[in-house]
Amino acid sequence: MIEKRLLELPDEISKTRIKLLDMDQWLGKEREKMENWIVEQTINITNAKDEKGKAVYSNETKRKSELAYRKQTSTTYQTLESNYRKLEREIEIKKIELDKLYNEQKNLRAICRLEGGLDG
């Protein structure tokens, strides 16, 4: 049973690492969507003019406050951020699963050594 499991673990570890790689790439795409939304809003805020042609958000503090407000009130941004956070959590869970597989492999090897079934 131990030998069979030791032979299965490399494939499981490899598949888990590939899944993590895919998830990291997906996370990068989600981060890019959020950054693009922020850039678009920043441009809109910076270019906003009142009826007299003066900047609506005339200083950095006002622009930052408006961006923060838009983040809080935008369902688009909230969805992007929620998706990003969920994916971050899934990645952390997958890393824990990978650590578990490595630990299992290490423990099974140690058991085999103790039983004399594997050379160090």
Tally of domains within the chain? 1
Domain presence at residue 14: yes
Gap between the Cα atoms of 43 and 2, Å rounded:
60
Gap between the Cα atoms of 22 and 2, Å rounded:
30
Please give the residue range of the domain that contains residue 101: 2-115
Proportion of the chain in helix, strand, coil states, percent, rounded to 5? 85, 0, 15
Domain presence at residue 120: no
119 pLDDT above the threshold of 80: no
Residue written as tokens 């006002």?
Answer: 62
Per-residue pLDDT band at 115 (split at 50, 70, 90): confident
Domain presence at residue 98: yes
**pLDDT tens column, 31-90:** 999 999 999 999 999 999 999 999 999 999 999 999 999 999 999 999 999 999 999 999
DSSP 29-51: HHHHHHHHHHHHHHHHHHH-B-T
Mean pLDDT of the chain: 95
